[in-house]
Amino acid sequence: MEQCTRRDKPMNELETPVLDAAVLEELAKSVGGDREFVVDLIGTYLDDTEGQIAAIEAAVAADDPAALVRPAHTLKSSSATLGAKRLAERARALEIAGRSERIDDGARVDAEQLAQDWREAKTALQEWMARSDTS
């Protein structure tokens, strides 16, 4: 299991890019260059993520670390798959907080930043899709 180190500070978003387009290119390559598949996949991700964000926010609001773990984990995992690195990193920080069985101040800041990260990731992915369509 990953280290359940207590963090008192939120993650530093400046260190992590919103979207690493190379991950998407690698993903397209891994499915035989099928960009349409990747575009569909992003669509699925955008549909599913709303629910996960809501579940995370609800868990933090209810101060329920156990309820935080799974949606944060799933969000981390699918965001990483699509190169939404900053959102993935935020979700990872929240997952760790959930596992530490205490939602501390750092985790609360992360939760507050989550909506912002999500909006940025969504915009970046939509831009990537638009670029893919025209290319």
> Least distance to other proteins from the beta carbon of 45, Å?
5
Nearest CB to other proteins, comparing residues 89 and 111: 89
| Torsion angle in degrees (nearest 10) through CA of 77, 80, 86, 90 | 10
Nearest CB to other proteins, comparing residues 30 and 112: 30
Nearest CB to other proteins, comparing residues 13 and 81: 81
> Least distance to other proteins from the beta carbon of 95, Å?
8
Phi-psi region of 83 (alpha: psi -120 to 50; beta: other; left: phi over 0): left
User: What is the Cα–Cα distance from 98 to 64, expressed in whole angstroms?
Assistant: 8
**Alpha-carbon distances of 111 from 8, 95, 124, 132, rounded to whole Å:** 13, 11, 20, 31
> Least distance to other proteins from the beta carbon of 37, Å?
6
> Least distance to other proteins from the beta carbon of 18, Å?
17
> Least distance to other proteins from the beta carbon of 13, Å?
18
Nearest CB to other proteins, comparing residues 73 and 108: 73
Nearest CB to other proteins, comparing residues 70 and 108: 70
User: What is the Cα–Cα distance from 40 to 52, expressed in whole angstroms?
Assistant: 19
User: What is the Cα–Cα distance from 132 to 135, expressed in whole angstroms?
Assistant: 5
Q: Which residues bind other proteins (CB under 8 A)?
A: 1-2, 23, 26-27, 29-32, 34, 37, 40-41, 44-45, 48, 69-70, 73-74, 76-78, 80-82, 92
Per the CB < 8 A criterion, the answer to whether 104 and 7 are in contact is: yes
